[in-house]
Structure 1
Amino acid sequence: MNKLTYETIIAGFMEMAKNDEKIRAALIVGSRARTEVPADEYSDLDLVAIVENPSAFLDDTDWLGKIGKHYLTFLENTAVGGGKERRVLFEEGLDVDFAFFPVSALPELEQDPEPLGVFAKGVRVLFDKDGTVTALVHQAPKNLPAPQMPGSEEIRNAIHDFWYHAVLAAKKIRRGELLDAKSICDSYMKHLLMQLVRTQNKLNKGLAFDTWHGNRFFEKWADPETVSAYKNLYGVYEEEDVWRALHNTMSFFRETAKDVCVKMDLHYPEEGDAYAAGLVESLYSQEQRPV
């Protein structure tokens, strides 16, 4: 038997689709279709299919056997576009995301900035039985809205949200809910911090500067000082280290948020910052209470 490769997976899907009228189009997106940050040996395959009925492929796995032997498969929301995808780990360690969108979703995809941004980075159309996807892909760069800086209210909300959760994390630590506190500090608060880091980079390097989505390629697009600072923002599952991570996260957020506010000519909530930080310090100095 021939060794399974990403190209044979693609060929297998195309062969299956040739005899299935429910599959109207398929395209490759992501690293295996773009020139900027192209695929490397660790990259997966992102295959998007436009079908009559997505549930026929999302709720069933028999069709995977026509493509190759797989060991793991599960459902997940797509990163963009509001769809669902079946993620699969095939033999040879090949991981593939099969995203299925109904034909009826095409008008929405034509207007949604997130999938348009993905298409604009690079697409490889495998087949298009109706010609609709090819037109969408060609128009994607033109239809992509101009990048915009977050508004003042969005920045203000993120700053207040962060300091509120700093106090909440401290209360959780003191109550003995260490894992919950660590989750707030290392996930929720870091998400708010990333919003400000992205904004700061766009303010410094221009609106068109690409900060990708999620935490993708953070080490490539963030400045070295920010990357270095992040090394001290996470803690292990131990009380004193969670306190350390919380304090460091607060300090770095304050520095970043103030810089953003100065550059955007916004008021920084010094009073709210000081009050929240004072509560955190007060809680830090207390004895741990039994749950």
Structure 2
Amino acid sequence: MNEYQSILTGLIELSKLTDQIKTGIIIGSRSRTQHPADEYSDIDIIMLVDDIEHFIKSDEWLDSLGKYHISFSENTIANGKERRVVFDNALDADFLFLKANDIDKIEKDKDFKEIIARSYCILFDKIGFDDVLRRIALSPEQYFLLSESEFVNIVNDFWFHSIWAAKKVLRGELWVAKNCVDNYMKNILLQMIELFTHAVNGSSYDTWHCGRFIEQWAEPWIVKEFPNIFAGYSANDIFRALSKSMDLFRKLSVKTAEKLNYIYPNEADMYAANFLESVKKFR
């Protein structure tokens, strides 16, 4: 935390000078003991404020924290806005601004609850928000297994897009095809990895979010396949990665269906697999 201390000190001093800022909370790796921060970690700070747009559009408050070189904004959890900044020495800081008068909505936000339940550290608090944080920390969100109909739907979604991506390759739309295979379909694959892992280990097993630390929580035989399932920018390699992704997805989804006693949509699987083999053969 020492490298960020001047930024944190400046933020605390800024909060003393204005009533606009109500609460500051450090989240993420800089606040936790499991998978703690390393030399490459950024710092994430949730700030409850009166006027979000002021902190998104104004640079004056940012100037008071130190010399910065890059800054942009984006939407974030609980209908808030985030200002992402790179300071001197490539120190990157994410400031998540939430409306101080929306505490009830913030407390109910799924993403906010998941973040706080994992870890947090109060930097300053003028409005007693600590009570809300403690309530959330005492009742962490549980993973809910997909229903059978939800499972069947994402399996069909995957097989549908395997055909869709293959057609894009055949049309020479490699950018679109690669994006489908390595982005859209990988997100479905990640859902299946999470579902399989929870089916095997229970709902309380920690699969983090967005693939974080997947190399550590997923089974080794799954991780072993990761180098094979991403594509280079060529038709042949996209087909190769698509085929390998299909193999891994099939193995996972069949095992998951068996574990949960769900119906597996075998017809969709076979049709997509046969289509891919046919177009690869006659290219």
Name the TM tier (shorter chain): over 0.9
Secondary structure, in 3 states, of the residue corresponding to 2:224? helix
User: In 2, Cα distance between the equivalents of 1:51 and 1:119?
Assistant: 18
Residue 23 of structure 1 corresponds to: 21
1:181-196 correspondence to structure 2 within 5 Å: 181-196=177-192
- Structure 2 counterpart of 1:45, which letter? I
Secondary structure, in 3 states, of the residue corresponding to 1:46? strand
Corresponding residue pairs, total: 282
1:202-221 correspondence to structure 2 within 5 Å: 202-221=198-217
Residue 118 of structure 2 corresponds to: 121
Which has the larger displacement, 241-250 or 116-125?
116-125
- For the 8 Å contact 2:46–2:98, the answer to whether it is kept is yes
Residue 241 of structure 2 corresponds to: 245
Residue 84 of structure 1 corresponds to: 81
Provide structure 2 residue ranges, at least 5 long, that are not aligned to the other structure. none
User: In 1, Cα distance between the equivalents of 2:215 and 2:141?
Assistant: 26
1:109-258 correspondence to structure 2 within 5 Å: 109-131=106-128, 133-258=129-254
User: In 2, Cα distance between the equivalents of 1:165 and 1:218?
Assistant: 24
- For the 8 Å contact 1:26–1:128, the answer to whether it is kept is yes
User: In 2, Cα distance between the equivalents of 1:57 and 1:224?
Assistant: 44
- For the 8 Å contact 1:211–1:218, the answer to whether it is kept is yes
Residue 46 of structure 2 corresponds to: 48
- Structure 1 counterpart of 2:273, which letter? A
- Structure 2 counterpart of 1:280, which letter? L
Which has the larger displacement, 256-265 or 148-157?
148-157
Which has the larger displacement, 215-224 or 160-169?
215-224
Secondary structure, in 3 states, of the residue corresponding to 2:74? strand
Shift of 1:143: 3.9
User: In 2, Cα distance between the equivalents of 1:45 and 1:197?
Assistant: 29
Shift of 1:263: 0.6
Shift of 1:142: 3.1
User: In 2, Cα distance between the equivalents of 1:270 and 1:17?
Assistant: 59
Provide structure 1 residue ranges, at least 5 long, that are not aligned to the other structure. none
- Structure 1 counterpart of 2:233, which letter? Y
Secondary structure, in 3 states, of the residue corresponding to 1:37? coil
TM-score normalised over the length of structure 2: 0.96
Percentage identity across paired residues of the two chains: 37
User: In 1, Cα distance between the equivalents of 2:86 and 2:151?
Assistant: 39
User: In 2, Cα distance between the equivalents of 1:93 and 1:17?
Assistant: 24
Residue 65 of structure 1 corresponds to: 63
- For the 8 Å contact 1:110–1:143, the answer to whether it is kept is no
Residue 38 of structure 1 corresponds to: 36
Secondary structure, in 3 states, of the residue corresponding to 1:231? helix
Secondary structure, in 3 states, of the residue corresponding to 1:216? coil
TM-score normalised over the length of structure 1: 0.93
User: In 2, Cα distance between the equivalents of 1:62 and 1:187?
Assistant: 38
- Structure 2 counterpart of 1:8, which letter? S
